[in-house]
Structure 1
Amino acid sequence: MQSGDLLRIGGYLVLPAPPTRAALAWTWTRWSSWPSRPRNLAEMVLGRYGPYVVVLDPDTEEVPVFTEAGAWVGTAEHPDAITDLLHTYATGTPSTRNPDQKG
């Protein structure tokens, strides 16, 4: 494979869950060109905030957020903004906390 080659990626991701809940599962198929610099996916981390799942990627400040059922919540501009995004998603109103306050 070379940079610019077309690549079809597909698969399943199933995250474990306690016996009282259904497992979180995604199915996807995507066509993409081979990147010029392959990314090291081992550096990406899935984190949990209660019933929410976040994807922490060392290559970007943005943090995608999903519910544990797989519903899209949104993208936090940086890790410190995750709680504000979750508050807005859960209540429908923006957080009123001081933006200089961490966490």
Structure 2
Amino acid sequence: MVNSNHNQTGTTRDTKVEQELNALRGQYELLRDRKVRTEQDVTNLSSQLETLKEQALAQYGTSDIKELQALLEEKRLQNEKVVAEYREHIQQIQVDLAKVENPSENE
């Protein structure tokens, strides 16, 4: 009788081990698929990065991020200057127009 009980316990243990093994296999398959997708993503992103570097080099003469950031800052400063000059121009037009529309106020 003791052997019979021990045999059932062994079978239960074997079943648990088999179930865990199947669960681990399922996890392995999911991780393997995820790894493959991640590797494909890395390959695609690396290719896109190289394309962007080539475009930056052709368009701006560099693909160095610090140099590109400096160029961007330079362009921003230029844009701000142009906008400020345009604002002043518009304001002067408004002043001149007010003088024409209301000549008595300017005397």
Q: TM-score if structure 2 supplies the norm length?
A: 0.22
More helix by share: 2
Q: TM-score if structure 1 supplies the norm length?
A: 0.22
- Structure with greater contact order relative to length (CA < 8 Å, sep ≥ 6): 1
Task: Look at both structures and tell me which one has the larger radius of gyration over its CA atoms.
Answer: 2
More strand by share: 1
